[in-house]
Amino acid sequence: MDLASPSDNNPTFSSPIITANNTTTNNTTPPRSTNTSISSPSSTPSRYENQKRRDWNTFCQYLRNHRPPLTLPMCSGAHVLEFLRYLDQFGKTKVHNQTCPFFGLPNPPAPCPCPLRQAWGSLDALIGRLRAAYEEHGGRPEGNPFGARAVRIYLREVRDFQAKARGVSYEKKRKRPKPKGTAPTPASLSTPASDLSGSGQ
Ligand SMILES: [Zn+2]
């Protein structure tokens, strides 16, 4: 995985955030779900399921490495936000500071020292997967930290800022002006926050 690849004009869900095992400080322990024999295509889980499992493993590893240590039941939306900010160091998306002359330019003419971050679309899809995984692992929906209000607000802020900083629009105004109900976003199957763009502003 070339984490520094600049070919990231596309903030969609095609680029998995957490594919490399070295995304955490402890890369000596591979995920225990690593298959040694992937020979039978009939029993291969979908790409979404694979990604969801990798994301979940990464999050659990993050909890284990956390100081002070965290367990899943202790996890709140604030910890999820910490996790998302932690992931930013592995991001590939240039997000210009407001002071950068290229702020708002989709195709800057020159390099600049602004940081690389996780693209909003990647974070949004990631949260959707982790939210589903949390409940699949026995978590109660009403206590799901990935569905916390603070997380929704954070994602909305990231989306708005990245849209401005990168000069792109994340609004879904291709056909329907008002995305009500479930948006047809394939990679965020269980994202219930599809009405984020339509509320509160
Ligand atoms: Zn910049």
pLDDT of 181 over the 80 cut? no
pLDDT-above-90 percentage for the chain: 60
Mean pLDDT of 85-91: 96
Mean pLDDT of 87-116: 95
Task: Give pLDDT tens digits for 154-167.
Answer: 999 999 999 999 99
pLDDT of 83 over the 50 cut? yes
- Distance between Cα 97 and ligand 1 center (Å): 6
- Distance between Cα 32 and ligand 1 center (Å): 40
Q: What is the pLDDT of residue 194?
A: 42
**Is the CB of residue 159 less than 8 Å from the CB of residue 168?**
no
Tokens read off for 18: 């957490």
Whether pTM exceeds 0.75: no
Closest to 193 measured CA to CA, from 184, 181, 201: 181
- Distance between Cα 96 and ligand 1 center (Å): 4
Mean pLDDT of 97-116: 95
- Distance between Cα 140 and ligand 1 center (Å): 42
Instruction: Say how far apart CA 115 and CA 105 lie, in whole Å.
Output: 15
- Straight-line distance from the first to the last Cα atom of the chain, in angstroms, rounded to the nearest whole number: 38
| CA 27 to centroid of chain Cα atoms | 20
Q: Which residues surround ligand 1, an ion (CB under 5 A)?
A: 96, 100, 102, 112, 114
Q: How confident is the model at residue 84 (pLDDT cuts 50, 70, 90)?
A: very high
Task: Give pLDDT tens digits for 60-75.
Answer: 999 999 999 899 999 9
Mean pLDDT of 117-121: 97
- Distance between Cα 143 and ligand 1 center (Å): 39
Closest to 165 measured CA to CA, from 119, 126, 109, 111: 119
